[in-house]
Structure 1
Amino acid sequence: MAVEENKERAWVGVIRRIVTISFAFLVLGGVTWAFADSIPLATDEYRILAFGIYGAFLAFHLIIQSLFAFLEHRKMRRGGQACSYSRTVALTISAYQEDPNYLRECLESVKNTEYPPDKLKIIMVIDGNKEEDQYMMDMFKEVFVNEDVGTYNWKYNYHSWDMAQGAQSFIAEDNPEGVLDSVWTIQGATEKRSGAMYDNSNEQIYEDIKEADLPVYTDIVSEDPGRYEVEQLIKTKRCVCIMQKWGGKREVMYTAFKALGDTVDYVQVCDSDTKLDPLATLELVKVLESNDRYGAVGGDVRILNLQDSYISFMSSLRYWIAFNVERACQSYFDCVSCISGPLGLYRNDLLQTFLESWYNQKFLGTHCTFGDDRHLTNRMLSIGYATKYTARSKCYSETPAQFLRWLSQQTRWTKSYFREWLYNSLWWHKHHLWMTYESIIAGIFPFFVTITVIKLFFSCHLWDIIWVLITIQLIATIKALYACFLRGNMVMIFMSLYAVLYMVGLLPTKYFAIITMNKSSWGTSGRKKVVGNYMPLLPLSIWGSILLAGLIYTLVMTFTNAGCAILDVELNYLIYGSTAYVSYWLFMICLYWLWIRRLCRKRSDYYDIQG
């Protein structure tokens, strides 16, 4: 009976793969044909304005995406079942050179989380164990002074222990519990002999140790004793702060996950620049409790410092669209592509099954250190579990306010997006066809936009350049108006201004990210440091040069080539179109300075949970 069931499942898997692959090629072929063929569905009498099949397809995509997002929000507003308060949760915080003000707000918000204290562990792991990192541990102890706190400064981390240099012996009578501060280190062990120790062939190492050199009652330890101390603290204390050797964010997260083992039901992730809503954890738990098929759930991430600059303000609007339209739509089909690092909850028993694979991820032979949240989500999707989003769980997170830091962040995110796109495609057949459809559309969209813009800039018709700018702005405005309706807040109209950031900054950055995909780092520097990396400006310079060359070419051809000369009727379109485009921008910029900049001076405005 079991054999027959396994055969049936195998056939179902094969059929689902065939259907998914066929559907993927159908979508890719259809969209490519619509883009390449440029068949107009409607034109004016002079064929200066046109609306084609590809434009109709994009409009249809935006409509259905918005519709499913709306339906998912309607389900969220119903509330769902009550929380049982029986699940244990470990709230993990990843910290790296954090701004003291943001860190304090994060810790205070975690302390005020409305979830039973006996069911909630709080673990902060700091990526760095030097004196300059000590302020973060001190602040943790200060905030949780009345709690059951445990702290430890780990000399290593889970993957930096070197037995050739760090094999240690201890005097048992001076350290009866095996927790030691002073150590005796074996010197002179070769790399070959270090490898022998990993193979449990310790006799060769022992030959290097003279009896006269060893203290009385000495034990040879083949594992880092700091690891034992970390695991004991995390398993026995409610609030724990660990400082460890620098290894990147994924190393920090791994420490918390690994040390927890199977001691809790759910694991919540949080960044050290994130301020949690008091009900954030509770709302996440309610979602996972509601259905055993749900493996992970993410919450609504808002921007903490939207008043800092135009960049941070626009990021706040983009975040809202990304979570409450794009991920809400994905959640309707149970396939959210990324549980964001500032606010997410995972089933711990499932997480532990792919923890090592997640940490040891490689791409083109290079160990991956960024894109940890997206790959963690992908691992959950790969085993067939659903991923969800709930707008009822909220947090506020810091975003880069300087253009260079924003570019670095976007470069890192784009690298992980395209890398994880390839990995995600392996599991499309395990989920709804929407995941396949949306992945293809989102994956090819930047390339089609690039081709369209370059083609029109070199078309030798000045109106084509104005028309592409108007079209981009028109699409952005329509999306912004829908966001105003969905959110119930007219501030979303400023989302239409994000188009210029996308075209000038984000679009060329995508190509730079693809070329440098194997370069691994945190991507954005610690908030205590000034950005000194100007490499992200290189693709912007190249992109700007291409567009400038296209504009010059078009202007030259307009005045020297009779076939490119401006017609009288086209001149009217050019004047009216340019006037409308410039007027719109002038109006929106004035509105921004008169309305938004004044509101941003009041700190309380950007903590509006209901907005």
Structure 2
Amino acid sequence: LIDMEYWLACNEERAAQTRFGAVMCCCGPCAMYRRSALLLLLEQYETQFFRGKPSDFGEDRHLTILMLKAGFRTEYVPDAIAATVVPDTLLPYLRQQLRWARSTYRDTLLGLHLLPGLDRYLTLDVVGQNLGPLLLAVSSIAALAQLALTGTVPWWTGLTIIAMTMIRCSVAAVRARELRFLGFSLHTPINIFLLLPMKGYALCTLSNSDWLSRKIANSPDVDESKGSTEDATTGPSLNPGSAMPGAIRRAGLSRAPSQLIAPDGIAAETE
């Protein structure tokens, strides 16, 4: 499921964002920046704090916000290909999602003042990413309460969630031209029963900057593939000795980095 999750994040979420002028998070291992732009913001980037405490995860989203604040434009490149290390068991996956949730909440607060200057769709996207899980959680809790207190099955709630899930998976299957994306519907119960409680916990522990997996990490298991693919990391927190256990997953799909374009309109070169 994780390769389909990444495909959707890149080829739907970020592809839609770039049509409206800005990618809100350039994924760390899949991003390319102008060196001059990075040097301009390097001091701010290396001294990331939240509530007075050093914060060294979610640096890709943080760097994207800094770039947008500085007046640069971020874009998604659909024909670029990149590889990254991903969790291959449930516990590391949940730790990753916890870090990402905290990063999303933190940098959403940091980037709120940018939204009036961006397209209205991006405001809707940010609101949806943050309030969508809350609404789904409220609906799920209400459905479980109805079942427990009245003994009646919340058909409308269940059918609505199922219908929305199948529509999304069907659209992805058509766009990717792979029927296996219909199986991504299995991610919905994972989202409801595991990720939503974890996101609630993340919201209540925003000041916690623990990486969670670094203390137990040794070195990732990497599957060699044809050609030489470098894991282009950004930021001081991503070093070879602190990588999260996992393996490079090859989905056979385009995993595109985001591209930074300076105000003069000259794009960074990609091979």
TM-score range, shorter chain: 0.7 to 0.9
Give the share of equivalent positions with the same residue, in percent. Answer: 27
Which residue does 2:49 correspond to in 1?
362
**How far apart in 2 are the matches of 1:527 and 1:388?**
33
Q: For the Cα contact (< 8 Å) 1:484–1:491, is it kept in 2?
A: yes
Structure 2 residue 10 is matched with structure 1 residue 323: yes
**How far apart in 1 are the matches of 2:107 and 2:69?**
12
Which residue does 2:123 correspond to in 1?
436
**How far apart in 2 are the matches of 1:609 and 1:365?**
41
Question: 1:503 is matched with which residue: 187, 192, 199?
Answer: 192
**How far apart in 2 are the matches of 1:384 and 1:433?**
18
Q: 1:335 and 1:392, CA in 2 relative to 1: closer, same or farther beyond 3 A?
A: same
Query: In the alignment, residue 401 of structure 1 is paired with which amino acid?
Result: D
Which residue does 2:81 correspond to in 1?
394
Q: For the Cα contact (< 8 Å) 1:336–1:387, is it kept in 2?
A: yes
Superposed CA deviations along residues 290-336 of structure 1, whole A, max 9, x for unmatched, are xxxxxxxxxxxxxxxxxxxxxxxx11111111111111000111211
- Normalised TM-score (structure 1): 0.35
Q: For the Cα contact (< 8 Å) 2:30–2:83, is it kept in 1?
A: no
**How far apart in 2 are the matches of 1:327 and 1:606?**
20
Q: 1:323 and 1:607, CA in 2 relative to 1: closer, same or farther beyond 3 A?
A: closer
Structure 2 residue 110 is matched with structure 1 residue 423: yes
Which residue does 1:465 correspond to in 2?
154
**How far apart in 1 are the matches of 2:251 and 2:185?**
23
Structure 2 residue 60 is matched with structure 1 residue 373: yes
Superposed CA deviations along residues 20-45 of structure 1, whole A, max 9, x for unmatched, are xxxxxxxxxxxxxxxxxxxxxxxxxx
Q: 1:399 and 1:466, CA in 2 relative to 1: closer, same or farther beyond 3 A?
A: farther
Which residue does 2:168 correspond to in 1?
479
Query: In the alignment, residue 87 of structure 2 is paired with which amino acid?
Result: P
Displacement of 1:378 in angstroms is 0.4
Question: 1:336 is matched with which residue: 4, 19, 23?
Answer: 23
Question: 2:136 is matched with which residue: 443, 446, 449?
Answer: 449
Structure 2 residue 202 is matched with structure 1 residue 513: yes
Which residue does 1:608 correspond to in 2?
252
Q: 1:508 and 1:385, CA in 2 relative to 1: closer, same or farther beyond 3 A?
A: same
Unaligned runs of 5+ in 1: 1-313, 531-604
Q: For the Cα contact (< 8 Å) 1:481–1:492, is it kept in 2?
A: yes
Displacement of 1:382 in angstroms is 0.9
Q: 1:437 and 1:607, CA in 2 relative to 1: closer, same or farther beyond 3 A?
A: closer
Segments of 4+ moved more than 2 angstroms: 459-471, 521-530, 605-611
Superposed CA deviations along residues 373-398 of structure 1, whole A, max 9, x for unmatched, are 00000001112221111121112223
Query: In the alignment, residue 34 of structure 2 is paired with which amino acid?
Result: R
Q: Which has the higher strand share?
A: 1
- Normalised TM-score (structure 2): 0.76
Q: How does 1:304-323 map to 2 (within 5 A)?
A: 314-323=1-10
Which residue does 1:132 correspond to in 2?
none
Superposed CA deviations along residues 458-483 of structure 1, whole A, max 9, x for unmatched, are 23444443443332222111101000
Query: In the alignment, residue 444 of structure 1 is paired with which amino acid?
Result: L
Which of 1 and 2 has higher RCO (CA within 8 Å, sep 6+)? 2
**How far apart in 1 are the matches of 2:168 and 2:76?**
21
Q: For the Cα contact (< 8 Å) 2:7–2:253, is it kept in 1?
A: no
Which residue does 2:229 correspond to in 1?
none
What secondary structure is seen at the aligned counterpart in 2 of 1:346? coil
Displacement of 1:433 in angstroms is 1.8
What secondary structure is seen at the aligned counterpart in 1 of 2:21? coil
Find the structure with the greater CA-based Rg. Answer: 1
Query: In the alignment, residue 81 of structure 2 is paired with which amino acid?
Result: K
**How far apart in 2 are the matches of 1:610 and 1:356?**
33
Q: For the Cα contact (< 8 Å) 1:370–1:523, is it kept in 2?
A: no
Q: 1:607 and 1:422, CA in 2 relative to 1: closer, same or farther beyond 3 A?
A: closer
Which residue does 2:263 correspond to in 1?
none
Displacement of 1:529 in angstroms is 7.2
Which residue does 2:218 correspond to in 1?
528
Q: How does 1:84-483 map to 2 (within 5 A)?
A: 314-459=1-146, 460-483=149-172
What secondary structure is seen at the aligned counterpart in 2 of 1:392? coil
Q: 1:461 and 1:515, CA in 2 relative to 1: closer, same or farther beyond 3 A?
A: same
Query: In the alignment, residue 528 of structure 1 is paired with which amino acid?
Result: N
Which residue does 2:242 correspond to in 1?
none
What secondary structure is seen at the aligned counterpart in 2 of 1:388? strand
Query: In the alignment, residue 507 of structure 1 is paired with which amino acid?
Result: L
Query: In the alignment, residue 472 of structure 1 is paired with which amino acid?
Result: I
Q: For the Cα contact (< 8 Å) 1:382–1:430, is it kept in 2?
A: no
**How far apart in 2 are the matches of 1:337 and 1:522?**
22
